[in-house]
Structure formats: structure tokens, C-alpha cells
Structure 1
Amino acid sequence: MKILLIGSGAREHALGLMMLKSGLEPRVYVVSEYRNPGLERVAGSSSGRIFITRVTEPGRILEITEAVSPDLVVIGPEEPLFAGISDTLREHGFTVFGASSKCAEIERNKVFARRLMWRHGINGRLFYASFSNVKDAVSFAEHAGDIVVKPARQVGGKGVKVFSNTKSYLFNEISRVTDEYVRDLFSEMDAYKDIDEKILVELRVEGVEYTLHVISSGGSITPLPVIQDHPHAFEYDVGPETGGMGSISGPGLTPPFLTLGEYEESLRILNNVIDALRSEGCIDYRGVLAGQMMLTWLWGPTVIEFYSRFGDPETGNLLYMLEDDVLEVFEKAASGKSLGKLGIRDNVVVVNKAIAPLGYPTDRRLATGLRVKVDEASIRDTGCTILYGSIEVGSDGSLYTKGSRLAEIVCWGYSYEEAYGKTENAMRYIEGEAPLFHRGDIGSPESMQEKISIAEKIRRVYTSRVRRGLLGAYMAWVPGIGFIENPLVNPYMSKRAHG
């Protein structure tokens, strides 16, 4: 079976390795933007080849696809979906595993996603406001209290900032910082001409984050295990947001901090979103939909954002979590066939850690062009797998960084202590000519216990709200104003504006 895999990074390396295990004897061809050593090996080991070109140019991708004549095209990243690659290939008769551009709007445009959830009354929705001009955004954000400010478009998991403006003596200083950030973010978002609204402001909620993926054929879905991403750059969840510094999963469908009931509610939310998309023009969702979720006091399972593809680094965890033939499932989904359940290994846990050059994510120039040495044999001896990400083979045969997470180390065990120990051991076998860093806390016993403790506290609150019929509701009494139901609206500002 001939496969064309589109994408350049660790997610695609993981997808390639999973497909190579298939009984369908795949020959994998790859379209990548650079010479990723892992993807080169996936292609070479299956008698395929790798093409180096931009993955967002429909004409060039169609040309390569027609030359390869694959039985199945698998699209990894989001940007080719946004650019309509899946639409172009389907129009020319190819079978594609990847959401259409219409369906991928759920990820590309975060304002669209929020409006969709509110229009259809889907649980897990957050209060929000969106803006197409900087003046209105600054004025709103200064007085909105506890908020999250983020780009209204998907930009690789970056650009998110949390502001807590509830201390009156800090109001002026926090307002100044908020003002500066919103203006800077607006300036960056001007480069994206495919959305009108540039800034999204949401209610800040706290809790434990996790990701639930489902594979959809348009008529049925197959749910996957919950995987927890760790987006912050540094240990203990501090520092700037990144594309993801590591992920954990298992045993079975949920990590220890999530209940089966919470898993089922998260799955209901994704089912309802697919139904809502279908009613608004996304007829056949053939690919992956993922909910980046958080367990919160407001709803329990709450949607932070959506992916229209597999997450990265989350995909790496699936290497050791899934038992069945993944390629068969991809082919069925792409062909619109009925999907069954995937076998899940219920007795293992997986810890996946990314390693990046110093400078990532704030100054990628410092993190680019650095020589790296990888001792793959020693990594394999630890029982782990390396996934190559933002790293390329240079003309001299050496490996060089490209400014982002250069690799991921994926390890499994029968306990988090075991898998965690393997990852820390394996990290020793990646060295750079300049400093590299990873998060040593991901999957540690201390980190896992903290997440369990936080989830238990959140659970007590939201289950109490369920009993009182207040799930998803916000209500506060403000003297001289009365009840308010939207926490993002400053009642005193509203009174002054209208009085």
C-alpha cells in the first residue's frame, strides 16, 4: 500500500513509525519542508522517498501526489489543512486522511469555535470577547479582570498570556502590561490575512489540562486515550507557552487525575461539536478532531481550544498506547467507512519529553543552526524511542537545529516512576554545541501527585455545582448594580457607559 505522508516534524515521524507496523505493508513517501532524519529513514526503510518542498502549496503538493499515485494521503500539520491541501487532493480523486478546510476552521479560527459552541449550547464553553481593532481590545482587556488573551488564529500554540487584574492597588501596573501585550499581539497578527478578528479574550479558568483525540470518518468516530500536554517552557508550568514540552498518558484511557465519567463527558463534547460542524457545512469530517481540555470549577471538562489534527507532542505517546493497526483505521476514516474501537494498552504509561535549544521559544535565532549529536543506539538501549522534530540533516551529514523543539524522547513503563526514569536517562544521549534544555518534572511522582490533588479539589467544586443546577453558570451580586452573569463585563464600566 502506497502512503503519502505530509509534514516535517516529530508528529509525522511518530505517524510514520506507527504506519510502518501495519500488516498492509506500506511504502511511505514523505513531503517535508526539510531533511528530517527520522522521516528520511521512514521513507527509506519502506522503499519510499522524501520530497523537500513547502507543504502549504496546493499546486506543488498535487504535482507530487500525482507522481506518487498513493492509495492514501495522510496530512500531519494544521497549516496544510488551512491552505486547502486536503480539498485539492480530494477534488482530484485521492483518498485523504485530513480534515477539509471547512472542517479545519474549528482550529484555525478560535472565535468561530467559541461561537459554534455558544450557538449550539455545547457544554464546556467559556465566556469570551473578540476584537478586530486594537483600541477596543485594549479598552476591554484593561477592565475585564481575570482573563486570558490569545491570538484569534491558531499560531502553533504560542501567544497566550494570562492576566489577573483583581487587586485594586496593582490595577494601573497590570493595565499597562495588558495594554502593551495586546498591542504587540495585534501587530503580530496583522501578518495573518485569513481572519478578520485578531484577538480573543476569554475568562481565565484554572485546573488540570488534557487532550482527547477522536478519529472521525464522517459517520462514526473512534476515541483515543487522554494525553496530557505540558505547554509551558520551564519546570512547574512556568515560562512562555510553547508548542508542547512533553506529554503523559495511561494507564488505559485516562491518567490518574481523570475519571472515566470525565472522559465520557469530554467525548460527548467532541461528538456534539462534530454534529454542530455538520449542521454548518462540514459534511464529512474525515480526519482527527482533538479537544484541548481543562477540568475546571465552571463545567468540569471545559474546552480551551480545538485541533483539527493530531497534537504534537501528544502523537508520540500513541506509539506505545495503541495495539491495533493504525493504518487500517486511517484508511477507513479517509474512505468514510464505519470505525470500530482501537485496542488500548491498559497496563502501561507513557512519558514523552521534548528537548530544545536555549533560546526557544522567545528567540529562535539563538536556537537555529546549532550542531547536535544523537546516540540513537544508547537511547534504544534505555527502552525509548527518539522522534526527530525541528532538526535537519546538513550538507555535511551532521544534524542542525531549526529553532524549535529538536526531538522528543518517548518511553513507556508499568508505572510513571519507571517511564519517568527512562526519559531522564535517555536525555543524556542528546548533546548540542550550545545548551539544550528539557523539563525534568514531566511525569515525575511529585508532578503526578500534584495533578491528582488539584483535580480532586476542582472535582469537589464542579460536582457541587451539578447538584445545585449551576453547571456552566456564573452569577455574582455587585452592590448598586445587581446580578451579573458574564464575568468578563465590568459592571461599573457598563454603568458609566450607559448612565
Structure 2
Amino acid sequence: MKILLVGSGGRESAIAFKIAQNEKVEKIYVAPGNGGTATYKKCENVNLTDIDELLVFAKNNRIDLTVVGPEEPLTNGIVDKFKSEGLKIFGPDKKGAELEGSKSFSKDFMKKYGVSTAEYEVFYDHKKAKEYLENCNYPIVIKADGLAAGKGVVICEEKKTALETIDLFMINDIFKGSGKKVVIEEFLEGIEASILSITDGKRIIPFLSAKDHKQIFDGNKGPNTGGMGVVCPNPYVTEEVLKDFYENIMDKTLIGIQKEEMDFKGIIFFGIMITKNGVKLLEYNVRMGDPETQSVLSLMKTDILDLIEKAIEEKLDDVEVEWEEGYCVNVVLSSKGYPGKAETGYEINIDNEEISNIFIAGAKLEEGKLITTGGRVLSVVGKGKTLNEAKNNAYKIREKVNFFGAYCRSDIGIAK
């Protein structure tokens, strides 16, 4: 098989690494890929991001299957376009991708199908949004309606911050259109969890739960990032929590997908909050999370390509996903200055013995050397029979990786 994998992050590194283990796979083209995928067996980076160019490439190279990593091409209709040309592709159609592409659409979908979530209001006008904020209970959550590279959600502790956020989103338009419409949402207190899953439109199979640590500093302090580390499985996701999740979120989501006639053969990522009043859905993503994927796939025993093919064929009823016992801890190394202006352009030094435990994200391969190019540079994963063992293994491996200004949190596997 020849596979086209769309994307360039640590998520795509982990997916490429996993797919390459299938003996049927002859070649994986990663578009555009990164410095890590450039070095993997069976992989070749191709410098393409435009959907029409990807379509032409898939046809000319007789690609057997396209797997889409990030959300943007999905919300822009890559699946619809490929399928209209008779090409096999894994991911939801444009209508299904709106579950991530529009916060207001997803919240209205949750309400329509009885999915347990926070109370909310949608605003198109900044004056009306500000009027609403005058009488809110704080803290409150403000979300840009569209895609904002993971930066479109602000928890506002007081009215002043909320009003400033409305100005930034709706008037200053810092997200170039994505924040012109906003969702103002009840603040939920509790423990967050990520549950990635796969669906063929008839069944949803949840993967192991994960716990992402979004804030830059130890103790969950400082500004939010794309994710500084992950624990898998999430120790707070108990059998009771899962039962609540299945009944009040996952099963109702599947009913909604079917009734809305979405062509959804892909990944659904449920971002949930475990509260004293039960499990609530924060958001849907329609692709695998980053850095959750690096941890979740590290514990998956089932072949990911076989799973993807079963989903496309609507045969997930025949599947049982198997997992390694124990835990996986993912520690993210970022560039100096991140999540602000990252300092990049530095060589990464890695002990070759640990290369299979490292997933590159923001780096390129230049004259045989890995050079930093982004804020989140790479993920280091450690596994163990206990959470503490996995944590210790991850930080041992971290000591064998270095580049100028490398930063990581020291409490992944400890922090709540």
C-alpha cells in the first residue's frame, strides 16, 4: 500500500511511525511532514499543503489511502473532494468537520441531541456580547467560533478580562474572522480529560483516556499552550466516569451524527470535564489530538491501519482494540520563548538509542541535522507498569535530548 498522510506535527510523526509497522505498507508520503518523518522508514516528505495539489498528487502516485492529521483541511472539505474523485480517505466530510470548525454549531448540536455540556449563548454582535457580560457569574469562558490554532478559548476570571477578550476577538479580529462570532459559556470546575475515538458512522470505539497539560509552567500555571505533556490513561477517568461519558455524551453524539446524515468515518476527540455534577463535554475535535496521540498510540497494540480500513468499510462492529497494560507519559520540549515568540534555528542532539521514544513536531532535517523550527519541538514518551515508572522513564529519556533553550515542565505525571 501507498499512504498519503497530511500534516506536519508531532501527531503526524506518531501516526506515520505506527502506520509504518504494518507489513502491507510500502510507502508513506507525508505532506508536508517534518524533520522526524523525513527520517522514518518507508516515509518521504512532500512539500504540499493545498487540497487541489494533494488531490493531483494522490491520483498521479496511485495513493491507496489518504489519512488526514490536522483539522483545517477537514473543515475545508478535503474528504468531500477526494471522495468525489473516487479516492479512499480517512476523516469526516465537511459537514461532520463543523463539529470542530464552528463552536456555535457544535454547541447547538450538543443541545439538540441532549449531550451533557455547559450552558452557553452565541453572539454575532460585540455590543450585545458586552451587555451579556455585565450580568454574568464569573469566571466565564469565551470561545472564538472558528478555528484559532488552539488559542481561541479564554477563561475570564473577572468582567474586565472578558470585555477585553471581546475586543480582541470581535473588534481587533486577532483570529482573522474566526472570532467575529463568539460563544460565551458557563465555567465548569473539575478535572479535564481527553478521549480519542474512532467511528465508522455506525459505532464509536473509544481509545484509552488521556490527560493533557496545557499551561506552560509547573503546577498548571501560566498561559495556555498547544499542550506541554500527557498522561495516558488518565488516572481520573474511572469506570463511573466512563459510564457517564458513554450514556450522556458518546452515545448521543453518535445518534446526532446519524440523524444529521454526516459522512463520518474518522476520529472524534471528546474533550470532557469531570465535575461534581457529572461528566460534561467541553468540545469536539474531529482529528487526533497533539500531544495526546503520541501517548495513546504508544500503548495501542492493535494495528492502526487495520483499524482505519475497518472504519472506512463500516466494519468496526468486527473490531476490538487491544492495549498494552500500564501507562505512557509524554513530556513536550519547547523552544525558548514559547508560547510567545519562539527562538528557533538550533540543532537538536538526540541519543540514537532513544530515537523510537521521540516524536518530532517543530523541526526540519537540514544536511543530516535536526534544526528547531517551531514552538513545540518534540515529544518524549516513557512507558511503565505504573504511572510513576512511566514518568521516571520519560524524564530519563528527556535527559538524552537537548537543544539551545529547550524547556519542559518537570511535573507531567504528578500535576493534576
TM-score computed with the length of structure 1 as normaliser: 0.79
User: 2:347 aligned to 372, 376, 381, which one?
Assistant: 372
Moved more, 207-216 or 143-152: 143-152
| Aligned residue identity for 2:359 | L
Partner of 1:24: 24
Matches within 5 A, 1:479-490: none
Would the alpha carbon gap of residues 373 and 190 (structure 1) be closer, same or farther in structure 2, given more than 3 Å must change?
A: closer
Q: Indicate conservation of the 8 Å contact 2:29/2:45, yes or no.
A: yes
> Where in structure 1 are there 5+ consecutive unaligned residues?
165-173, 452-499
Q: Indicate conservation of the 8 Å contact 2:34/2:363, yes or no.
A: yes
Q: Indicate conservation of the 8 Å contact 1:231/1:241, yes or no.
A: yes
Q: Indicate conservation of the 8 Å contact 2:169/2:175, yes or no.
A: no
Residue 280 (1) aligns with residue 260 (2) = yes
Q: Deviation at 1:196?
A: 8.4
Partner of 1:38: 36
Q: Indicate conservation of the 8 Å contact 1:38/1:387, yes or no.
A: yes
Q: Deviation at 1:17?
A: 1.0
Q: Deviation at 1:428?
A: 2.1
Partner of 1:312: 290
| Secondary structure class of the residue paired with 1:370 | coil
User: 1:355 aligned to 324, 327, 333, which one?
Assistant: 333
* CA distance in 2: counterparts of 1:376 and 1:98, whole angstroms: 36
Q: Which protein has the larger Cα radius of gyration, Structure 1 or Structure 2?
A: 1
Partner of 1:155: 148
**How many residues in Structure 1 have an aligned counterpart in Structure 2?**
413
* CA distance in 1: counterparts of 2:85 and 2:107, whole angstroms: 33
Partner of 1:5: 5
Question: For 1:188-237, what per-residue CA distance to the aligned partner results, in whole angstroms no more than 9, with x for missing partners?
Answer: 646544x6852211111111111112111122222211111111111111
Matches within 5 A, 1:49-128: 49-54=44-49, 57-122=50-115, 124-128=116-120
* CA distance in 2: counterparts of 1:67 and 1:368, whole angstroms: 39
Q: Deviation at 1:186?
A: 2.2
| Aligned residue identity for 1:437 | Y
Q: Indicate conservation of the 8 Å contact 1:350/1:411, yes or no.
A: yes
* CA distance in 2: counterparts of 1:277 and 1:335, whole angstroms: 17
Partner of 1:491: none
* CA distance in 2: counterparts of 1:376 and 1:90, whole angstroms: 43
* CA distance in 2: counterparts of 1:208 and 1:201, whole angstroms: 20
Partner of 1:388: 360
Would the alpha carbon gap of residues 182 and 418 (structure 1) be closer, same or farther in structure 2, given more than 3 Å must change?
A: same
Would the alpha carbon gap of residues 187 and 66 (structure 1) be closer, same or farther in structure 2, given more than 3 Å must change?
A: farther
Partner of 1:257: 236
Partner of 1:472: none
Would the alpha carbon gap of residues 25 and 196 (structure 1) be closer, same or farther in structure 2, given more than 3 Å must change?
A: closer
| Secondary structure class of the residue paired with 1:140 | helix
* CA distance in 1: counterparts of 2:315 and 2:64, whole angstroms: 15
* CA distance in 2: counterparts of 1:61 and 1:393, whole angstroms: 22
* CA distance in 2: counterparts of 1:320 and 1:419, whole angstroms: 12
Q: Deviation at 1:84?
A: 0.9
* CA distance in 2: counterparts of 1:368 and 1:60, whole angstroms: 31
Partner of 1:439: 409
* CA distance in 2: counterparts of 1:319 and 1:125, whole angstroms: 28
Q: Indicate conservation of the 8 Å contact 1:270/1:289, yes or no.
A: no
Q: Deviation at 1:337?
A: 2.7
Partner of 1:478: none
Question: For 1:83-104, what per-residue CA distance to the aligned partner results, in whole angstroms no more than 9, with x for missing partners?
Answer: 1111111111111111111101
Question: For 1:395-433, what per-residue CA distance to the aligned partner results, in whole angstroms no more than 9, with x for missing partners?
Answer: x44433333201000110111111111222222233223
* CA distance in 1: counterparts of 2:331 and 2:186, whole angstroms: 30
* CA distance in 2: counterparts of 1:186 and 1:360, whole angstroms: 25
Matches within 5 A, 1:292-331: 292-298=271-277, 300-331=278-309
| Secondary structure class of the residue paired with 1:79 | helix
Would the alpha carbon gap of residues 218 and 148 (structure 1) be closer, same or farther in structure 2, given more than 3 Å must change?
A: same
* CA distance in 2: counterparts of 1:6 and 1:293, whole angstroms: 27
User: 2:213 aligned to 230, 233, 254, which one?
Assistant: 230
Partner of 1:459: none
Question: For 1:303-326, what per-residue CA distance to the aligned partner results, in whole angstroms no more than 9, with x for missing partners?
Answer: 111110111111001233111111
Partner of 2:161: 177
Percent identical: 28
| Aligned residue identity for 2:264 | Y
Partner of 1:244: 227
* CA distance in 1: counterparts of 2:252 and 2:24, whole angstroms: 33
Would the alpha carbon gap of residues 437 and 399 (structure 1) be closer, same or farther in structure 2, given more than 3 Å must change?
A: same
Partner of 2:381: 410
Would the alpha carbon gap of residues 220 and 121 (structure 1) be closer, same or farther in structure 2, given more than 3 Å must change?
A: closer
| Secondary structure class of the residue paired with 2:16 | helix
Question: For 1:333-390, what per-residue CA distance to the aligned partner results, in whole angstroms no more than 9, with x for missing partners?
Answer: 1233334110122x21000011111221123xxx14331322142535xxx6100001
* CA distance in 2: counterparts of 1:64 and 1:18, whole angstroms: 23
Would the alpha carbon gap of residues 176 and 265 (structure 1) be closer, same or farther in structure 2, given more than 3 Å must change?
A: closer
Would the alpha carbon gap of residues 190 and 161 (structure 1) be closer, same or farther in structure 2, given more than 3 Å must change?
A: closer
Would the alpha carbon gap of residues 91 and 120 (structure 1) be closer, same or farther in structure 2, given more than 3 Å must change?
A: same
User: 1:129 aligned to 109, 121, 136, which one?
Assistant: 121
| Secondary structure class of the residue paired with 1:39 | coil
Q: Deviation at 1:187?
A: 4.3
| Secondary structure class of the residue paired with 1:420 | helix
Partner of 1:289: 268
* CA distance in 2: counterparts of 1:97 and 1:188, whole angstroms: 36
| Aligned residue identity for 2:255 | D
TM-score computed with the length of structure 2 as normaliser: 0.94
